[in-house]
């Protein structure tokens, strides 16, 4: 390990070294807690990125927030398990490998299933770990020894067990239903995997001749090619226009097939002509109407969306070519009577962008309502909390209207459905292992169903299958339920809802280890079947103009490029500092550049500390680990005002950061740390203690010891947000002999209310205000930086005068003052003086004051004071605020109002004195 800090802060080399060290040393590997373990447990499951994935800004935000929370809990003494893994990503991975084959002039169907699957495994071995390698480089503090892949044998075994149990419970069924069909992937996909886009289209009006009459009935459609599969025309039973046609039939144009006119609520009199074509095999609403009227289901397309043998002379045509031919022939025969512009909500496959075809297909489904009931109940009764609160209602609304889940996919890559069809009698056997004979006819001619399960089926089981289920394991006793789930809104229904449904169903009756449960603060929670106790839904990362990132817009921000330029710590800090719950992040590189400067500020402060430790010598070492477990800052001796103040401020910041992280207010935690480290510690405390550090003997040693102890605590406070720079500096502080292998394993600072010092904070605030006032006066008077100036001060209270007098050296040095004179009367009427509620200050400097400019400044000051008074009066007049706010907050607000009233009077007096208008 390095024994000194380099002159320049270069994050790249530092971050690579520590990322490798953390993995090599297995710092974040977690042993299964034994029975009777009394330490609290914190468990978190990484939303598994696709094995095809590459880190994007969504991953970066998600993993930054998770890593902050995990490191925070670990440093607070929790047994912390963060489980990493990747998802086999059925469609995405198969598409990736098929494209690779395409470039070689090959097709998967030519290879055969087994060879293709082996090719996918080979691809996974070569490329599948890229995103996890990126996570390692970013320092994610997961337990790499527990890394999983959703196609691992133990997880595959659990998937089969779940499917079979659901089947045995009557919750899995197979049937012909309308599904969203992707012609490119040749598979059914769920509603959630369909993205809808509004596009300009056409609405065509077609007339159907009514048999036995000279009449026609006109319908409108946006998909005329599907009329080849029409099996009825529907009119509303209350529509008087068509009463005389009830029970009659029409001749289907181009197909010359007789189809009935039915009465059904599917037809709305106010829409179009009031009559609609019914195509049960190609529209979900028509499918339901077809079931009500026992209509035939005629599928006119194959899996590629080409017309099949049921389409007559249009067989073999692509659906869009067939549309052109159908429209041409309808026109030729006089059946096409209208064409209008129409805006379509076109459904497309979220993976490949192919237009979805609603299509009748035999699929496997889960009866979802019985599972959804428990999943609704656990959120309603608080067994699971969801933050931000508005997503709780979004979740409940969706679950209340949920439909049966189509879980089968016509793919080769994935968990194959454990069902076998008997070729002799067509009976289907569902079993945990391949059956030897048909359980109906005894035949040995069995073929496994070719479909695989939806990827989200297996990932929905991860909270318990990664801990050993279906076996009864100690891991399940200790780590289930997970404590928290952090994820994005985009997979709230894909994944979160399904984890809750599966967890509540399959873990019913589970009881978490009572000792661990109590230690973790969850003893009052009665439902241990839930997959996690808490859910935090993070926001979306947008570009600097708050536009959603997309490749077509060309505004996609690559986090790896940002990290290369500014470092991981600065990128993490940017995402944390902008992550207000419920608010999307407008990612701006200028913010990251600013936080890179923040890291540099910390680096230079550390170099300043090391320089003084080396110069001053003994007595300046960091405290022992047992002392660092104590609240506050151990080993810190508050001698001076600045010592008392920084000790109090550190403890208040530690309390604020704790509260912020507990409520997932990452932005508040980051900004509080930033303000403390940059403003209070670097800009003020370091400047204030420089004279003592430059002394000789014990005074310098005491000041240096305080600096080291404070810096050590501040690094631990910052570590969860900026792990790399804090590790580097902390390790250097201990000269290669630290009390732990990593700062990540050290105690997190706890606030000590005994070290709060309101008096010191008030006095320091006055002193800071005075120094800043003199600096501002110098700037306004254009005093040269090197010129020392005398000042006159009027203190409103004797105690304030005594405090200023006691700290006159700080004022003289930090404001470049040569002489301080206390006067007996107010300086408010002197042009160019500064007046506050605690003091007036005036620079004795012979330079003519620009009266007009001073008047303008005072007017702005008066306007600012007036706004402060108005705001305070509004708060103090709000009874709800007064009832809820802590007493000290209300009292401080009242004092502030009194001070503002005094400033208002003084400023008006100055304006009058100068003759301002």
Residue 626 has pLDDT above 80, yes or no: no
What is the band of 676 on the pLDDT scale with cuts at 50, 70, 90? very high
pLDDT at 781: 86
pTM score of the predicted model = 0.85
Average pLDDT over residues 413-418: 96
For residue 2, the model assigns a pLDDT of 36
Region 80-100: mean pLDDT is 91
What's the pLDDT score for residue 544?
A: 74
**pLDDT over threshold 50, residue 619:** no
Residue with tokens 């009557």: 170
Non-local (6+) Cβ contacts of 30 within 8 A are 79, 80, 81, 143, 146
Average pLDDT of the residues of the chain: 91
* Residue 408 to residue 772: CA distance in whole angstroms: 69
- Is residue 663 over pLDDT 50? yes
DSSP label at residue 210: B
Q: How far apart are CA 706 and CA 106, in angstroms?
A: 70
Instruction: At 325, give phi and psi (nearest 5°).
Output: -70, -40
Mean pLDDT of 323-332: 96
Residue 739 sits at φ, ψ, to 5 deg, of -75, -10
CB atoms within 10 A of CB 256: 8
The pLDDT tens digits of the residues spanning 48-73 come to 988 887 778 888 889 999 999 999 99
Rounded-to-integer distance, Cα 405 and Cα 408, Å:
9
Give the contacts of 589 (CB within 8 A, at least 6 positions apart).
544, 562, 566
Residues contacting residue 650 through CB under 8 Å, at least 6 positions apart: 632, 633, 676, 710, 713, 714, 717, 749, 755
Reported for 144-147, long-range contacts at CB under 8 A and 24+ positions apart, including other chains, are 144/23, 144/26, 144/28, 144/29, 144/84, 145/26, 145/29, 146/29, 146/30, 146/81, 146/83, 146/84, 146/466, 147/84, 147/85
Task: Tell me if 763 sits within 8 A of 730, measured CB to CB.
Answer: no
For residue 27, pLDDT beyond 70 = yes
Nearest to 716, CA basis, from 24, 74, 12, 61: 74
Q: At 56, list the tokens.
A: 């994007």
The radius of gyration of the chain from alpha carbons, rounded to an integer in Å, stands at: 36
The DSSP code sequence of 654-690 is HHHHHHHHHTT-HHHHHHHHHIIIIIIIIIIIHHHHH
Percent of the residues in the chain that have a pLDDT greater than 90, as a whole number: 68
End-to-end CA distance of the chain: 67
Distance CA(214)–CA(372), nearest Å, equals 53
Strand pairing class (85-86; 148-149): parallel
Going by C-alpha positions, the residue among 806, 779, 810, 774 that lies closest to residue 791 is 774
Q: What tokens does 622 get?
A: 């960091």
How crowded is residue 200: how many other Cβ atoms within 10 Å of its Cβ? 9
Identify whether the C-beta of residue 654 lies closer than 8 Å to the C-beta of residue 72.
no
Predicted local confidence at residue 895, as pLDDT: 84
Rounded CA-CA distance 179/200 in Å is 24
How many angstroms separate the Cα of 800 from the Cα of each of 643, 769, 796, 897? 18, 12, 7, 20
Give mean pLDDT, residues 854-882: 86
696 falls in which pLDDT band (50, 70, 90)? Answer: confident
pLDDT at 847 over 80: no
Supply 579's token pair: 């992550």
Chain-centroid distance, C-alpha 396: 20
pLDDT band at 395 (very low <50, low <70, confident <90, very high): very high
16/8 Cα distance (integer angstroms): 16
Residues 172-180: what's their mean pLDDT?
Answer: 92
Mean of pLDDT values over 858-871: 88
The model's confidence at residue 724, banded by pLDDT at 50, 70 and 90, is very high
C-beta separation of 761 from 753 below 8 A: no
pLDDT score, position 552 = 57
Q: Structure tokens of 693?
A: 């550090």
Which helix (DSSP H) or strand (DSSP E) does residue 234 occupy? strand 232-235
Give the pLDDT of residue 545: 73
Q: What is the pLDDT of residue 1?
A: 28
Q: Can you give the pLDDT at residue 753?
A: 93
Going from the C-alpha of 883 to that of each of 878, 879, 888, 891, the distances in angstroms are 9, 6, 12, 13
Cβ atoms 45, 482 nearer than 8 A: yes
What is residue 525's predicted lDDT score, i.e. its pLDDT? 84
Strand (E) or helix (H) holding 364: strand 357-366
Rounded Cα–Cα distance for residues 575 and 65 (Å): 8
pLDDT, tens only, 732-758:
998 778 889 999 999 999 999 999 999
The torsion angle over the Cα atoms of residues 810, 816, 820 and 823, rounded to 10 degrees, is -110
What mean pLDDT do residues 698-703 have? 91
**pLDDT at site 620:** 45
Q: Token pair for residue 566?
A: 């500014």
Q: Which helix (H) or strand (E) holds 441?
A: none
231-240: average pLDDT: 95
For residues 287-315, give the mean pLDDT.
95
Backbone angles phi, psi at 130, to 5 degrees: -60, -45
pLDDT digits (tens, 9 = 90+) for 424-480: 999 999 999 999 999 899 999 999 999 999 999 999 999 999 999 999 999 999 999
Per-residue pLDDT band at 625 (split at 50, 70, 90): low
With a cut of 70, say whether residue 640 has pLDDT above it: yes
pLDDT recorded at residue 622? 55
Give the pLDDT band (50/70/90) at residue 351: confident
Average pLDDT over residues 550-562: 74
Joined tokens for residue 328: 């041409």
Q: What pLDDT, on a 0 to 100 scale, did the predictor assign at position 852?
A: 82
Integer angstrom CA distances of residue 723 from 58, 62, 573, 659: 20, 16, 10, 20
Q: Contact at 8 Å (CB) between 811 and 769?
A: no
Cβ atoms within 10 Å, residue 36: 8
pLDDT-derived band at 628 (thresholds 50, 70, 90) equals low
């Amino acid at each position: 390990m390095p024994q000194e800090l380099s002159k320049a802060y270069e994050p790249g080399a530092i971050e690579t070294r520590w990322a490798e060290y953390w993995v090599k040393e297995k710092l974040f590997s977690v042993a299964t807690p034994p029975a009777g373990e009394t330490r609290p447990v914190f468990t978190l499951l990484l939303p598994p990125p696709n094995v095809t994935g590459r880190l994007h800004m969504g991953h970066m935000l998600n993993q930054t927030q998770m890593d902050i929370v995990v490191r925070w809990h670990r440093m607070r003494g929790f047994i912390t398990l963060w489980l990493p893994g990747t998802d086999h990503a059925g469609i995405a991975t198969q598409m990736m490998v098929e494209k690779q084959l395409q470039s070689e002039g090959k097709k998967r169907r030519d290879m055969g299933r087994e060879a293709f699957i082996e090719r996918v495994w080979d691809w996974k071995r070569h490329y599948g770990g890229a995103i996890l390698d990126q996570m390692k480089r970013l320092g994610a503090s997961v337990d790499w020894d527990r890394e999983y892949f959703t196609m691992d044998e133990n997880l595959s075994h659990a998937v089969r067990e779940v499917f079979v149990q659901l089947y045995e419970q009557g919750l899995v069924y197979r049937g012909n239903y309308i599904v969203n069909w992707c012609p490119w992937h040749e598979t059914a996909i769920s509603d959630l995997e369909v993205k809808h886009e509004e596009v300009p289209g056409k609405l065509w009006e077609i007339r159907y001749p009514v048999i036995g009459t000279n009449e026609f009935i006109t319908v409108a459609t946006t998909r005329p090619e599907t009329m080849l599969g029409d099996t009825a025309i529907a009119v509303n039973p209350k529509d008087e226009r068509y009463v005389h046609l009830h029970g009659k039939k029409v001749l289907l144009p181009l197909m010359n097939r007789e189809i009935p006119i039915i009465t059904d609520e599917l037809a709305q009199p106010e829409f179009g002509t009031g009559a609609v074509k019914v195509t049960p095999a190609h529209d979900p609403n028509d499918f339901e109407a077809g079931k009500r009227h026992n209509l035939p289901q005629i599928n006119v397309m194959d899996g590629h969306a080409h017309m099949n043998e049921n389409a007559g002379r249009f067989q073999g045509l692509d659906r869009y070519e067939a549309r052109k031919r159908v429209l041409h022939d309808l026109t030729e025969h006089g059946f096409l009577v209208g064409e209008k512009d129409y805006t379509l909500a076109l459904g497309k496959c979220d993976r490949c962008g192919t237009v979805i075809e609603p299509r009748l297909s035999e699929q496997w489904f889960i009866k979802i309502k019985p599972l959804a009931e428990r999943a609704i109940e656990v959120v309603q009764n608080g067994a699971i909390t969801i933050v931000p609160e508005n997503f709780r209602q979004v979740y409940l609304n969706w679950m209340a209207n949920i439909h049966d889940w189509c879980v089968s996919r016509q793919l080769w890559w994935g968990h194959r459905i454990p069902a076998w069809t008997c070729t002799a009698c067509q009976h289907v056997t569902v079993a945990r292992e391949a059956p030897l004979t048909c359980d109906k006819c005894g035949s040995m001619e069995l073929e496994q169903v070719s479909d695989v399960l939806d990827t989200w089926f297996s990932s929905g089981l991860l909270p318990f299958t990664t801990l050993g289920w279906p076996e009864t394991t100690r891991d399940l006793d200790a780590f289930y339920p997970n404590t928290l789930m952090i994820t994005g809104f985009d997979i709230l229904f894909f994944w979160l809802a399904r984890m809750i449904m599966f967890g509540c169903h399959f873990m019913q009756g589970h009881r978490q280890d009572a000792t661990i449960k109590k230690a973790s603060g969850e003893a009052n929670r009665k439902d241990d079947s839930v997959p996690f106790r808490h859910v935090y839904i993070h926001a979306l990362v947008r570009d600097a103009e708050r536009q959603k990132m997309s490749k077509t817009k060309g505004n996609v921000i690559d986090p790896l490029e940002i990290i290369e330029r500014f470092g991981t710590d600065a990128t993490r800090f940017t995402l944390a500092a902008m992550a207000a719950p419920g608010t999307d992040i407008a990612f701006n590189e200028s913010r990251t550049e600013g936080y890179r400067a923040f890291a540099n500020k910390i680096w230079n402060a550390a170099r300043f500390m090391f320089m003084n430790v080396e110069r001053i010598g003994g007595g300046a070492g960091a405290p022992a680990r047992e002392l660092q477990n104590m609240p506050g800052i151990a080993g810190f001796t508050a001698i001076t005002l600045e010592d008392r103040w920084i000790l109090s401020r550190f403890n208040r910041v530690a309390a604020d950061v704790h509260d912020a992280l507990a409520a997932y207010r990452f932005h508040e935690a980051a900004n509080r740390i930033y303000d403390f480290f940059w403003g209070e510690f670097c800009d003020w405390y370091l400047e204030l203690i420089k004279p003592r550090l430059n002394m000789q003997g014990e005074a310098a040693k005491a000041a240096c010891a305080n600096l080291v102890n404070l810096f050590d605590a501040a690094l631990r406070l910052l570590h969860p947000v900026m792990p790399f720079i804090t590790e580097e500096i902390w390790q250097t502080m201990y000269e290669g002999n630290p009390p732990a292998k990593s700062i990540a394993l050290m105690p997190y600072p706890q606030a000590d209310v005994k070290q709060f010092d309101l008096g010191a904070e008030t006095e320091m605030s006055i002193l800071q205000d005075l120094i800043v006032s003199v600096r501002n006066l110098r700037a306004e008077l254009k005093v040269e930086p090197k010129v020392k100036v005398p000042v006159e001060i009027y203190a409103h209270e004797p105690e304030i005068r005594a405090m200023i007098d006691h700290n006159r050296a700080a004022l003289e040095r930090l404001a470049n003052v040569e002489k301080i004179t206390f006067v007996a009367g107010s300086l408010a009427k002197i042009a160019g003086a500064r007046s506050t509620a605690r003091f007036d200050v005036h620079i004795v400097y012979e330079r003519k004051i620009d009266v007009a400019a001073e008047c303008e400044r005072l007017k702005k000051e008066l306007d600012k004071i007036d706004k402060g008074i108005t705001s305070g009066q509004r708060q103090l007049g709000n009874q709800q605020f007064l009832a809820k706010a802590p007493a000290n907050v209300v009292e401080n607000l009242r004092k502030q109002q009194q001070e503002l009233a005094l400033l208002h009077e003084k400023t008006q007096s100055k304006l009058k004195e100068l003759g301002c208008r």
